[in-house]
Amino acid sequence: MHNDINRDLYEILGVPRNASPSEIKSAYRSRARECHPDVAHDDPDGEHKFKELTFAYEILSDEQKRGEYDAFGLEGLRRGAGVDFNGFSSISDLFDIFFGGGFTDPFSRGSRRRGRTDGRDMEVVEAITLSDVLDGTEREIELDRRATCSECDGTGLMPGTHMSTCSTCGGSGQMSTSRRGIFGTMISTQTCPRCRGAGQVISEPCARCGGAGVEKVNETIQVSIPPGVQRGDRLRVMGKGEGGVRGGSTGDLHVIVDIEPDSRFERQGTDLYTRAEVDMVDAALGSRVEIESLDGPAELRVPEGTQPGAVLKVKGKGLPPRYGGRRGDMLVRVDVRVPRKLSAREKKILQSYLEARKEKTRR
Ligand SMILES: [Zn+2]
Ligand SMILES: [Zn+2]
């Protein structure tokens, strides 16, 4: 934050208190150039400095306001303007209050007004299966997007032609009207509706894009989806969003992963849950049964005395984690299968099992 509301306006301009109007003007011009947004691109404080400087200049170049400031400091300006300064911590805040959007600054045909527009990011949803989550997959996504025009490279100009000065605003990018303001008559300005502030217009638009700088293209984009993704994961494909205009950067494409439900498996993190039927005799005696896993048949080891509803683990038959590592497990809930129909021989065997059981309890 800039807690510098008490900075001296003469100090900001770098002139002595008895400086002449022309000294003030030339001090402003040379300093304003240094911190102008077109020159000081990389100075994060550039805009703040520029506003501070311009505020100081606006006050000190006006005889009446300079007099109020000399006599009473900012308090004098506050009285003159009828503005409460509480809550403002910097001179550049005051700039906004005093001059707001209606101030024409002499250097303001800055780069940010030349129509440079960055392309927006785009999103697509791509549905994959659990098997794709296991192995990863390559997808081709067909996409309509607004790309930077290949003919004019986003300038909107017919190749070989140049921008010309906007005749509506005479190149200033702004239209002025005067109004009564807090310091008497003030010039209020609006952005020129024709050139939208750029001060320049396209005289011969690009034939391909009609001057828009972007064109619709239908593209097939290769996307590599890694193993272990979750529903809702976003994969970024750089530079495949909407195209930038007049030097703006191109956005990115975000592929949002959706995972189709699988009736056989339920996913929890890297583990998969499933069910398997086990014959009651296999459950009682213990056995190895073949069951289905995501990558083909797997062996389920059923221990002796397995109960209905028991959950058995098949190690390493789950899913891989997103950024590499060991696969999770498959957890199998056991449904014990009771035979509906028995042959005469099977019945006999089960009856003798029952006999044995009785003998055992009698003992
Ligand atoms: Zn074009
Ligand atoms: Zn204009």
Question: In the CATH hierarchy, which top-level class contains the domain 122-259?
Answer: mainly beta
Q: What is the mean pLDDT of the chain?
A: 84
- Tell me which ligand sits closest to the C-alpha of residue 163: 2
Q: Between 252 and 201, whose confidence is greater?
A: 252
Q: Binning pLDDT at 50, 70 and 90, where does residue 140 land?
A: very high
Mean pLDDT of all residues in 329-344: 95
Beta bridge partners of 297: 292
Residue 113 Cα to ligand 1 midpoint, Å, equals 20
- Tell me which ligand sits closest to the C-alpha of residue 152: 1
Phi, psi (5° rounding) for residue 77?
-70, -40
State the burial class of residue 234 (Cβ atoms within 10 Å of its Cβ: 0-12, 13-18, 19+).
exposed
**CB-proximal residues (5 Å) to ion ligand 2:** 166, 168-169, 192, 194-195
Tokens at 127, concatenated: 């549905």
**CB-proximal residues (5 Å) to ion ligand 1:** 149, 151-152, 206, 208-209
Q: 9-108 has which fold? A: Helix Hairpins (1.10.287)
Tokens at 321, concatenated: 């984690």
Residue 121 Cα to ligand 1 midpoint, Å, equals 20
Mean pLDDT of all residues in 115-136: 92
Tokens at 286, concatenated: 């213990």
Quickly count: other Cβ atoms within 10 Å of residue 174's Cβ.
Answer: 22
CB 149 within 8 A of CB 209: yes
Q: 266-362 has which fold? A: HSP40/DNAj peptide-binding domain (2.60.260)
Q: Between 159 and 334, whose confidence is greater?
A: 334
The domain ranges of the chain are 9-108, 122-259, 266-362
Nearest CA-CA partner of 132 in 33, 227, 57? 227
- Tell me which ligand sits closest to the C-alpha of residue 191: 2
Question: Each residue of 79-101: pLDDT tens digit?
Answer: 666 555 655 666 766 665 555 44
Three-state DSSP at 6 gives coil
Task: Determine the Cα–Cα distance for residues 176 and 179; give it in Å rounded to an integer.
Answer: 10
Instruction: For the full predicted model, state whether its pTM sits above 0.85.
Output: no
